[in-house]
Each structure stands twice: as structure tokens, then as C-alpha cells.
Amino acid sequence: MNLRFRQLQAFHAVIETGTVTGAAASLGISQPGISNLLNQLERQTDIKLFERVRGRLTATPEATLLFREIDTVVRGFDHVTQAVIDLQNKQAGQLQVASQHSMSFGFMPRLIADFARDRPDLSISFQSQYSSKIQEWVLSGLFEIGICEMPLLYDALDVHPVTVECRIAMPEDSPLARHDVLTPELLEGEPFIVMGPDHMTHRRTREAFVQAGVPLRARIHAHLFKNLLSFVKEGMGVAVIDPFILDFDKEGGFLSRPFQPTVMMEMAVITSSARPLSAIGQEFLALLKTALDPYTSVSTD
């Protein structure tokens, strides 16, 4: 028996709407077309599907049983059709993004939320991690888009470089707040909360102090900018911190100032050069690059 899906769909629509007219409107075909499909289905199955009672079609018991069997199939096809339409309109799909830690506390959640606002069926996978692991994840295909700190460890990555200027964070009651710009000379003797010794911000801060002939008093070492800022709020010192932590912290308890000479941090938006981005990934990547533009700096030192 070679049943056609259109026959089952017409039968399903008649049961759902209660009339041939309603089924025709639902499927966008003529009433004679619906009647023809029902007649074909009855001939092929040798089952009487409808009785006409007082001018209205009434489903037979056999039709009721058949409807239960095909309901899931027809609805499933409708869901597939809608999914295709959503993908064409970029309203569904899966967004897979990973970022280094400092962007994960405000910048990325807000950007992803803005992107997803008109896409209620969008599936989102987001993780924050150290930069080396993010590069591994993007390379392996676990995530489509990554935002990491330099250096890059692999060649098979497409790269959009982003360079940001860090600032000095200080307790909100610090007397240093009277200065518009802070220098190593002004910070002499101040306890510093610093990233690990291999981190670029630590190295460049230390280089700035060495060139100025001023000792850097590193009091606390930590490995996340979020931790550095927490110690600053507790009054334990000052810290060189990237703008993503500073701009998206809503708790307060600190002030920030530019530092001279500038401490720049090189980052990159990365995708795999071995596999194409999904349509959703392409659209989010464009939004991400635009959102990062105001943070991108070029050092003049």
C-alpha cells in the first residue's frame, strides 16, 4: 500500500478543523482537492473514514483510530517545516560560544541575551575558561566561536584581533582618586594585586615600573581579574584590570583611572578555519565584532 503523506495530511486537517472547508483553508488547497485526497485514501485503505450526518462529516470509529496513529507523524512534519522556516529566518538553531573569564561576568551574557531576545527557540551553549582551553574547544568543534587572550597556540584558526586598554582599579575611598591619570611614580609604595607572573598585564605593569625606576609592590597574586577586583574592594591594594570587568561590575566599591604608560591586553575572536560557521554563528560573530569595537585600542607608546 503506497499511502501519500498529502492524503494523511488532508485527513488529519479535516478531523482537526471539523470541515472540508476548514481543512482546505488550513492546507492552502481547494475544497475539491481535499475531497479528492480523502476519496483516494478511502479507496487505498478500503476503510470508510467519514459519514455524512445532517449535512456534516462525522468521523467513523475506524477514522478515529487512524487519526491517533497519524497525529504524531503529521505534527512532527509540521514541526520540521517550522524549524526550516525558523532557520531560514535565523530564529532557531544553536549558538556555541566560549570566552575567557572576564567577559563572562557581564559583557557576554548581555550580548547573548540581546541576540536571543527575538529568537525564543535558540539553543545556547556558553562556557568561560582559560584561553588555551578555549582554543582547543574551537579547534575541536566543541564551540563555534571563542574569545581568548593571546598568544594563539594553533594555526588552524581564523582570527579577529582585539586589543584593549587596562585601567587601574582602586578602593573607592583611595586618595589616588584625585588624579585623572596614574603613573608608576604616583603609585610608588601602593600594594598591588596582580595576575600570575606569566600574564601579559603583570609583565607589562612590571616593565612600566622598571622603566620608571620605581619598585612594584606586589602583595597578592591571583588568576582572575574578578578576584583582583574583589581584593581591591576589600581595600587590599590597587590592580591593573581589563575594561570588561570594570565596566560590567554593578556592585561598586571601587574607582578606576587610566594608567600611563598604557598596559594593553591582546585578545582575539577565533573560529575554526577547518569548518564553516552556521548562519546563527555568522550573525552572532558580526554582532560580537561590532560590540567589541568601542573597547579596541591602539597603543601610542
pLDDT tens for each residue of 124-159: 999 999 999 999 999 999 899 999 999 999 999 999
Q: Write down the pTM of the prediction.
A: 0.69
Question: Could you give all domains of the chain from N- to C-terminal order, each with its CATH number?
Answer: 5-88 (1.10.10.10), 92-163+266-295 (3.40.190.10), 167-261 (3.40.190.10)
Flag residues of the chain having pLDDT under 70.
1, 79-92, 297-301
Query: Does residue 229 contact residue 254 with C-beta atoms inside 8 Å?
Result: yes
CA 77, 83, 84, 85 dihedral sign is positive
Tell me how far apart the alpha carbons of residues 88 and 90 are, in angstroms, rounded to a whole number.
5
pLDDT given for residue 91 in this prediction: 52
Tell me how far apart the alpha carbons of residues 129 and 109 are, in angstroms, rounded to a whole number.
15
- Give the pairing type, strands 56-59 and 50-53: antiparallel
CA 84, 85, 90, 93 dihedral sign is negative
Of 219, 225, 253, nearest to 237 by C-alpha is 219
pLDDT tens for each residue of 97-106: 999 999 999 9
pLDDT given for residue 212 in this prediction: 97
